[in-house]
């Protein structure tokens, strides 16, 4: 019995999570895997009502689950940073979800802004370090508010943190078994300490344990360029937290936008968390217009990471079918169907299998 904690969150989060749960249910009836869910109402509304963000007792409770399924965090009435840091980043750090796994896959029938590129060209995965770098909150102000003010924001890169991320990326590349190429995305020409460490670990670990994997390096700016010009060159990209954040938004756009992009916050030995990466999209809240595919995709990735490969495959096939034969666009309000109808369409495909 899989135990799944559900945090629908803010804005359109609850709407897209509902569709994901609907599809999860249809899939479980088809393939027989058993699961139970428990819903937690953390997010902007609860914060406004009670002042509570994420109590430690709940954090402790969440550690008992097999996975967390998250909608979106971010509320227009709450100052940016409070909920993101207090919920999303806190969960990533406290549950030691040290990998942020973001597939960039253009499905058939989905439009990409890249001219002359198709599904055979856009199919790679970004392995983003998820607990270190510029995200640790290390830094501070000196003489704040004065003309002599100093603001420091330090990128923390530990040997242990870098190595476990790089090892995961190598393992993933091997298992994925596509062109067996792992690209380190960094900035060794300027960030000569942080990426010196990354580069050394990348080749040390790679040469010793992964001789079968081709190793490549690209600066982050060049990575952006190649992702647009020659996305077919990439198989798996490994990078730090900040660069990973940035390049995966670019990745989301070339795979058809936020309507389809999902990610997993992975602790290979603990509790992982799966989410659509598009945010809470407050202006669409409650309108039944938002695209739930990213959230459905996140649920599919959750099943795959939990070892339910068959169920995950059935779900992905259904997603592909609906994307290629039904949806007019992936944009909210332009799909030709409502949010709930898109969920229904995916369920229909699953029932048919």
Residue from 6, 24, 70, 88 touching ligand IPM (CB under 6 A): that is 88
Structure tokens at 100: 């942020």
Structure tokens at 104: 């960039």
Contacts of 247 (CB under 8 A, 6+ apart): 126, 185, 220, 223, 224, 227, 237, 239
Residue 294: closest CA among 266, 256, 268: 256
Q: Which helix (H) or strand (E) holds 205?
A: helix 194-209
Q: Pick the closer one to Mn ion by CB: 132 or 245.
A: 245
Task: Compute the least distance from the CB of residue 278 to Mn ion, in Å.
Answer: 10
Q: Which residues ranging from 218 to 257 are in contact with ligand IPM (CB under 6 A)?
A: 245
Q: What is the largest CA-CA distance in the chain?
A: 67
Residue 260: closest CA among 108, 134, 149, 114: 108
Q: Which of the ranges 3-11, 37-45, 84-92, 140-148 carries the binding residues for ligand IPM, by CB under 6 A?
A: 84-92
Report the distance separating Cα 56 and Cα 60, nearest Å.
Answer: 6
Task: Compute the least distance from the CB of residue 300 to ligand IPM, in Å.
Answer: 18
Task: Compute the least distance from the CB of residue 208 to Mn ion, in Å.
Answer: 33
Q: Which residues ranging from 309 to 338 are in contact with ligand IPM (CB under 6 A)?
A: none
State how beta strands 67-72 and 272-276 pair.
parallel
Q: Which of the ranges 83-91, 170-178, 212-220, 325-333 carries the binding residues for ligand IPM, by CB under 6 A?
A: 83-91
Task: Compute the least distance from the CB of residue 245 to Mn ion, in Å.
Answer: 4
The answer to whether residue 275 forms part of the interface with Mn ion (CB under 5 A) is no
Q: Which residues ranging from 197 to 256 are in contact with Mn ion (CB under 5 A)?
A: 245
Name which of ligand IPM, Mn ion, none residue 290 binds, using a CB cut-off of 5 to 8 Å depending on partner kind.
none
Contacts of 218 (CB under 8 A, 6+ apart): 183, 184, 185, 226
Report the distance separating Cα 351 and Cα 353, nearest Å.
Answer: 6
The answer to whether residue 349 forms part of the interface with Mn ion (CB under 5 A) is no
The answer to whether residue 299 forms part of the interface with ligand IPM (CB under 6 A) is no
The answer to whether residue 316 forms part of the interface with Mn ion (CB under 5 A) is no
State how beta strands 262-266 and 67-72 pair.
unpaired
Give how many residues touch Mn ion by CB under 5 A: 1
Residue from 277, 315, 322, 347 touching ligand IPM (CB under 6 A): that is 277
Question: What is the gyration radius of the CA atoms in the chain, in angstroms?
Answer: 20
Report the distance separating Cα 116 and Cα 114, nearest Å.
Answer: 6
The answer to whether residue 84 forms part of the interface with ligand IPM (CB under 6 A) is yes
Name which of ligand IPM, Mn ion, none residue 260 binds, using a CB cut-off of 5 to 8 Å depending on partner kind.
none
Q: Which of the ranges 32-40, 82-90, 112-120, 156-164 carries the binding residues for ligand IPM, by CB under 6 A?
A: 82-90
Task: Compute the least distance from the CB of residue 308 to ligand IPM, in Å.
Answer: 24
Task: Compute the least distance from the CB of residue 249 to Mn ion, in Å.
Answer: 6
- Beta strands per DSSP E along 48-199: 67-72, 99-105, 123-129, 139-142, 150-153, 181-186
Instruction: Tell me which residues touch Mn ion (CB under 5 A).
Output: 245
Instruction: Tell me which residues touch ligand IPM (CB under 6 A).
Output: 84, 88-89, 245, 277
């Amino acid at each position: 019995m899989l135990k799944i904690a559900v945090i629908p969150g803010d804005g359109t989060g609850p709407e897209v999570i509902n569709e994901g749960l609907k599809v999860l249910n249809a899939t479980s009836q088809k393939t027989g895997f058993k699961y139970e869910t428990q819903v937690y109402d953390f997010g902007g509304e609860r914060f406004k009502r009670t002042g509570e963000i994420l109590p430690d007792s709940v954090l402790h409770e969440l550690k008992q689950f097999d996975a967390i399924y998250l909608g979106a965090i971010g509320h227009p009435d709450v100052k940016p940073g409070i909920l993101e840091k207090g919920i999303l980043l806190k969960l990533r750090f406290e549950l030691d979800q040290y990998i942020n796994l973001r597939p960039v896959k253009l499905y058939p029938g989905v439009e990409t802004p890249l001219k002359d590129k198709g599904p055979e060209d856009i199919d790679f995965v970004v392995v983003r370090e998820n607990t270190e770098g510029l995200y640790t909150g290390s830094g501070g102000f000196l003489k704040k508010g004065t003309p002599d003010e100093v603001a420091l924001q330090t990128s923390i890169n530990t040997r242990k943190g870098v190595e476990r991320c790089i090892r995961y990326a190598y393992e993933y590349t091997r298992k994925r078994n596509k062109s067996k190429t792992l690209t380190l995305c960094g900035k060794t020409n300027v960030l000569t300490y942080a990426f010196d460490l990354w580069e050394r670990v990348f080749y040390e670990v790679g040469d010793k344990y992964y001789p079968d994997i081709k190793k490549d390096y690209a600066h982050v700016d060049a990575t952006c360029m190649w992702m647009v010009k020659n996305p077919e060159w990439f198989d798996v990209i490994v990078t730090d937290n900040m660069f990973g954040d940035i390049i995966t938004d670019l990745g989301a756009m070339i795979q058809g936008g936020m309507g389809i992009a999902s990610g997993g916050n992975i602790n290979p030995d603990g509790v992982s968390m799966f989410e659509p990466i598009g945010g809470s999209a407050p202006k669409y809240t409650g309108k039944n217009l938002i695209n739930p595919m990213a959230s459905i995709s996140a649920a599919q990735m959750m099943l795959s990471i939990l070892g339910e490969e068959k169920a995950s495959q059935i779900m992905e096939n259904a997603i592909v079918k609906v994307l290629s034969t039904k949806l007019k666009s992936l944009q909210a309000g332009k799909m030709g169907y409502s949010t709930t109808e898109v969920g229904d369409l995916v369920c229909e495909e699953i029932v048919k299998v």
